Amino acid sequence: MQPVIEYGFYGAVAAARVLLPAMRAAGAGTLLFTTGGGSVDPVPMFGNANAAQAAPRNRVVNLNKELAGSGVHAAHVASNVWSAGAARKAARRPPPSRSPPCTGTCTNTATVPRPSSTPDGPRRA
């Protein structure tokens, strides 16, 4: 469990120690920390990871209270929050098919220009 705490908790503490002085001096900024969903809704099979993820979450909640009124905020986002019902449904689903590997110029929807713009810049009316 120690490596999980060192990575997930002490890493977050170290980052905050580096960034907070400048944010406090500026009176503005947001520290955004992420952990797994087990920090909010623990799952027994991930007990060690859940405990390690709860530590930074609780520190962020307390840090945000300490920063109240300073213009600096601390926030936490738990990813992969799941319910038992969703887990059962996912377990019944067949695994997704894999796409063939990219062998040349690959693009996705993020690289395609939006209708509101052109390759040369914003579209003008």
Write the DSSP assignment of 16-59 as a string of letters. HHHHHHHHHHHT-EEEEEEEEGGGTS--GGGHHHHHHHHHHHHH
Give pLDDT tens digits for 33-85. 998 888 888 888 888 888 888 999 999 999 999 999 999 999 999 887 556 66
Which tokens sit at 79? 């990813």
Query: What letter represents residue 109's amino acid?
Result: T
Is the pLDDT score of 118 beyond 50? no
What pTM, to 2 d.p., does this model score? Answer: 0.60
Cα–Cα distance for residue pair 99/12, rounded to 1 Å:
35
Instruction: Please report which helix (H) or strand (E) contains residue 14, including its range.
Output: helix 11-26
Domain boundaries, the chain: 1-84
